[in-house]
């Protein structure tokens, strides 16, 4: 039941033990947390609005292309700079408004393949910098997807 979240899970971005508790709660109560790839603040807000209406948590998911779209397709993307900047800007937007929707939000990056590691590394760096100032990471979780790599490199 959505209304009886674990005591550690509060409205806003969920990280650390609260994230573990939320995922365990979903598993124990046999419900999925929707994850939506977003492309801007409009789609971010729409996801959180839908979660509010449903009364449950949401996963706001950043793809590399979605991050670049947030920064703007004409922005310089040398070394994935626009992909990183857009993903970070989107994550900061979620952080600024998520509590206003009254639902737990998981901030996640989606399917980073080996050739996209500069994007992944840039988000990790931003998360570390955010942690230094705020005591928690910017993102809740990241997905490294090496499924296209040989098995010996993927394990």
Q: State the catalytic residues.
A: 110
CA atoms within 13 A on the CB side of 72: 3
The backbone torsions φ and ψ at residue 49, rounded to the nearest 5 degrees and listed phi first, read: -65, -45
Q: What does the block give as tokens for 32?
A: 């999925």
Nearest residue to 102 (alpha-carbon basis) of 24, 30, 50: 50
**Position of tokens 């800007």?**
89
How many residues comprise the chain? 155
Q: Quick one: CA dihedral 74, 75, 76, 77, positive or negative?
A: negative
Pairwise CA distance, residues 131 & 119, whole Å: 18
């Amino acid at each position: 039941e959505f209304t009886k979240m674990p005591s550690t899970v509060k409205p806003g971005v969920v990280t650390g033990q609260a994230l573990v508790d939320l995922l365990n709660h979903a598993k124990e109560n046999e419900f999925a947390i929707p994850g939506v790839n977003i492309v801007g603040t409009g789609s971010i807000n729409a996801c959180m609005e839908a979660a509010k209406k449903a009364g449950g948590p949401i996963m706001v998911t950043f793809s590399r292309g979605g991050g670049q779209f947030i920064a703007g397709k004409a922005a310089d993307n040398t070394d994935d700079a626009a992909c990183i900047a857009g993903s970070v800007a989107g994550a900061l937007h979620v952080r600024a408004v998520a509590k206003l929707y009254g639902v737990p939000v998981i901030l996640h990056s989606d399917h980073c393949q080996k050739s996209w590691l500069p994007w992944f590394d840039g988000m990790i760096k931003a998360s570390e910098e955010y942690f230094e100032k705020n005591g928690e990471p910017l993102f809740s979780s990241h997905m490294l997807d090496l499924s296209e790599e040989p098995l010996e490199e993927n394990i």
